[in-house]
Chain A
């Protein structure tokens, strides 16, 4: 194997030679430069491979003298990985920078090469003064290359960075000199051995000098002013180079030097500064309007997170891999984003509207890198953050976990604030990659590709091997996303085929009906929903080409979430579902704003759930099955956090403001899936995760309060509130959105009863809701597709033009409102039985009242759209596309089957509930009647009775129909008043105005005002906070002085 010292020696030799090589021509010097970096990269990767395979790390001495006499270097796995990362980043950065030089000189090549040498030297050296020399090399290299960018800004930020860097190196040099005086040696490991024995006053001050010097070098809070300015002023390509090389090297140096710092006081100081940097930098980033400055704050935050983890890593393998993953993720994502920022050139967030319309690869890379930065699966950052949290939970470091989660949520806010602009449809102002050469794009594609590949491999690991259906679906989706050639229609077909294939395979191999357990049940629900949507997709066109790719990723993630046995697998699926559904919601015409809100609340829900899972991990449970063993306080905490997360995701009252917009503005084809299936996943979560944790009851002043009862009331209130709001909507989809959230409230209440009958009612309603809500949304989608509008006032009398849609909506509202003949009644009946059995009578009353109101908006839905006069312009309206109707017929058939023969679903449910509770919910007398403790219900009898009534009525109508007199809608005469706007003429306009006035006080949605207030406060905090960065070099240096004195004052200077 090549001696690693050559990484430094050869690169340095070439750097010295470059000025003369350049005389032979710039092409020659550039090639030599790239070859040297390639050589370094290859050697590092070969060493990394060898070390991974168990080779011995290289212990290198220089000058012929072993340490402590001479300077020694070390090249272990960590060093090899960091060196490989440094050389790769440098190589790719060089390719990029070659295209972005205003005044090309060989000097920039020299500086880039020596910068990498400095970084690799820093990584390898084990001598403290040598570390100082290499810090200076990387320092000066950084200062020099910072002048690469735009004239004024880069010089200004470069000078500030250099000034603070000089203060830092003075502190470091003093620290090193005094440490030599105290221990007599300069070798790091030797000094770490001798230092504890030194009991002289002032040792603390010396160590503090070195510590603050290194912290200033790392630009942690409050010294991160200049570091953020160089992002703002500097050339993004240069910053990408620095992120991959010097920043990682200085961080690793900080890790090595930390071995000198024994004792909890130092560890606490370092972790506190790290965590403060993480949270504050993220908070200040929220109010940023300039992309590069925001990326600067994000880098400072990520660095703070890594520094925070350092003291915990000593010896902990889990945290060591967490650090490695987080560092790798930050380098790949941040460098990639910086290159993209350089390529795009958009200064403000708004300039990124519909970025890179001309290149799929770049747009997918941009999305992937943003998701990686925020720590979303499958990218390495997610796994790193998970392992870090598990490590912290295991050592019960709860005071650290909370800020970590809060910081991550803040990070999510500003990155998706940026992504919101990117997802807007490409207008004339949106910029693309233009005629970017491949060299400029190589880095982006390489880094995004590596991050994705690593992520997919790890996801495969956790979801049971590469052959798991969930992963296959996801990969197929990824292919659909990337390959531009596949037409949209083919996407729908592929999706249909894939879901059908998996469904069939499950039924065949699953040993009879897979419905016996909860996982199987929800898989069938998901795949059924996906099947229907794909079928409808053949008819209804979709705006964005990437719809089906994302749709398959979404379905894959849900399958993964449901079938994976471990908490980690569950959460991977959950977060994957969150961002894929976010992207789909944002694809609606005005979908980006509601999408952003959707992401915020889903992200918050995700972090609540993550907190709950961490409580479990802290107690040593890592499988879903193991949740049963949780007991006492941990159980209550875990249960509350997880249930709260699911409640937010289910949009219960108070946190519901995101749901109506998200449902209404998402693409018409996706809304049925969003309301039919995705809103059921938190139900699966409650059924599987929350139900297993035996949460002890709270002993409050009013006696024992069962958490489950609280959850039931949350469900109940949601049902009540949402149904009430639904009635007064003027827009069809928004009405259905409120209704959908309300219905899910019923299901939450049903599950919260925690009795066999309750679960039967809940799960029955899950299927039922999927069927009729899917039906309603698809029908409305057809209507909207034909009429182009969603407002009731613009529709009317469509029964003659779209009869099949009319029948669909009719069946849908009958099933929804729970009127006897159809399956809705069975659901409601079971629910009320279970509630009464449980004894929660007030809640039963509330739900019954809500059902009555539900009937009102059902009537309004069908009345406004299909009955009344037909508008002139809708004269020759055609029926909805056949494929869409086919999907509706499929759903209608499902409802009819359940209405006539409920046992088809009830038998499997009995088995399932029996397995969970040990007792079946209800007995089946004979083949047809269901009996519970309160009464019985024979579906077939009722069905025949209603059918007879229906025939009689229909005959009368047909007989009386032709004699009715048709009047034209607009022949109304006005006696000299000003005619009101056309809408108000429409009979359905403000249909329930009197009720609205009656309920006005409680309708004034306090929730929206509250959450807007929360947003304002956070923003104001961010606004006030970032004022401390006044931009003045001397102020930043004064912060450094004050910082060391504050730490000294805190007693660190012993």
Chain B
């Protein structure tokens, strides 16, 4: 049986859950942001593994015979993995770093104002 991507999907789900564990249980603000970053990495791994097809190479056409005629096009199509999830993940990673940067800016300001990184100290607005 061709090796499926259970391993990669399993690792990805593991990463997501570990990320959420940090987010939901750790008191330290930085740990929470770190948890989100790890969860994002997990999601990205999951999406790329969705598009992976065993035994196929990267979606880059590097020898001329690949597109000389119509028949070759179909051959080439059968040679590469799905490029779309990779495009999506490329965007998702950069969004991840963007959000992380903004969160860290918030954490720095919160520390400067609250003098602590404990998330429970920042719960004044309630009810």
The residues of A with any CB-CB pair to B shorter than 8 Å are 129, 133, 136, 139-140, 143-144, 147, 151-153, 155-160, 162-163, 166-167, 169-170, 173-174, 176-178, 180-181, 186, 229, 232-233, 293, 1026-1027, 1029-1034, 1037-1038, 1041
Contacts and interface: CB of A to CB of B under 8 A. Distances in A.
B95 A163 contact: no
A232 B120 CA distance: 18
Contacts of A170: 16, 39-40, 43
A158 B113 contact: no
B23 A144 contact: no
A186 B40 contact: no
Contact of B50 (A163, A177, A1031): A177
Interface string B103-119: 10011011001100001
Contact of A173 (B84, B92, B106): B92
B126 interface: yes
A1037 B123 CA distance: 13
Nearest to A229: B125
Nearest to A144: B102
Q: Give the size range of B's interface with the partner.
A: 35 or more
Q: Most A CB atoms within 10 A — which of B39, B43, B46, B92?
A: B92
B124 A1031 contact: yes
A177 B88 contact: yes
Contacts of A174: 43, 46
Nearest to A228: B125
Given A140-B99, A1041-B20, A177 B119 contact: no
Interface in B77-113: 84-85, 88, 91-92, 95, 98-99, 102-103, 106-107, 109-110, 113
B39 to A, nearest CB: 6
Given A136-B98, A162-B106, A163-B36, 13 more contacts: A143-B99, A147-B106, A151-B113, A152-B113, A152-B114, A156-B122, A162-B102, A166-B103, A181-B50, A1029-B126, A1032-B119, A1034-B25, A1034-B119
B70 to A, nearest CB: 19
A164 B16 CA distance: 15
B125 A1031 contact: yes
A319 B103 CA distance: 40
A970 to B, nearest CB: 59
A155 B125 CA distance: 11
Interface string B11-43: 000001000100111000100100010011001
Q: Would you call the interface of chain A mostly helix, strand, loop, or mixed?
A: helix
A159 B102 contact: no
Contact of A136 (B85, B95, B103, B122): B95
Contacts of A1027: 127
B127 A1026 contact: yes
Contacts of A158: 106
A166 B104 CA distance: 13
B122 to A, nearest CB: 5
Contacts of A147: 106, 109
Contact of B43 (A144, A152, A173, A229): A173
Given A159-B106, A177-B85, A1038 B50 contact: no
A500 B24 CA distance: 72
B16 to A, nearest CB: 7
A158 B84 CA distance: 34
Contacts of B98: 136, 140
B96 to A, nearest CB: 9
A170 B16 CA distance: 9
A139 B98 CA distance: 11
Contacts of A180: 50, 84-85, 88
B122 A163 contact: no
A1030 B95 contact: no
B47 interface: yes
A232 B125 contact: yes
B118 to A, nearest CB: 11
A629 B77 CA distance: 70
A169 B107 CA distance: 20
Q: Most B CB atoms within 10 A — which of A162, A173, A181?
A: A173
